[in-house]
Amino acid sequence: MKKVVLVMLAVLLVLSCFCFVGCEPEACEDSYEDYDPSGPLPEKPVIYLYPEQMTDVEVKLEFNGQLLCTYPAYDNGWNVTAYPDGTLIDKKTGLEYSYLFWEGISNVPYDMSRGFVVKGEGTAAFLQETLAAMGLTPREYNEFIVYWLPRMQDNAYNLITFQTDVYTENAKLTITPKPDSMLRVFMAYQVLEEPIEIEAPEIEPFEREGFCVVEWGGAEVN
């Protein structure tokens, strides 16, 4: 009986080292090293690949921070077979995925100088309209909204910004073969008790051409 208990404790100790449920163990880290754990956490950036025909694709991420979790496991890059409908097959494991997922932490400050002040109760409608105008498909913006809405809808107000260069320069993607078009949407939002006056940016539409790559993610800024 003692041996059984010891074995069970050993198993629990190993499992306690995994950082997130649902992630592949070798893809996760539980150490923040030199990064402030109270800082903004880039959450659930997901990458969709839409080639015009079945294509072997390599995706490399150069992140100015520390990766905490990837799925499928990031092994010096993702190597997948991509299909026009977005289906991905990991060449290492043969498993099927809908997108590439990563999450990490960094000390990069986001630009909150321009954005939209939205009542919490109006967040769903705002995101649906705005993300569609940006070029996300219903499937993509629905997955975005389902992930973020529970955190935002009960706030008095949300200051919602969409990061451009600040995000893309600190989370660089190198994709082979090179996409014909790429859309990277990253939302940084801050909870407000009262509305504020702020300049709203212009929303630029995105045109999908050829081999198209789409990414979305976000972070809450305290």
Q: pLDDT tens, 154-183?
A: 999 999 999 999 999 999 999 999 999 999
Q: Is 133 helix (H, G, I), strand (E, B) or coil?
A: helix
- Label residue 40 by pLDDT band (50, 70, 90): low
- Predicted TM-score (pTM) of the model is 0.83
Percentage above 90 pLDDT, the chain: 77
Q: How many angstroms separate the CA atoms of 127 and 149, rounded?
A: 9
pLDDT tier for residue 124 given thresholds of 50, 70 and 90 = very high
Residue 4 CB coordination number (10 Å): 8
The Cα–Cα gap between 132 and 139 comes to: 10
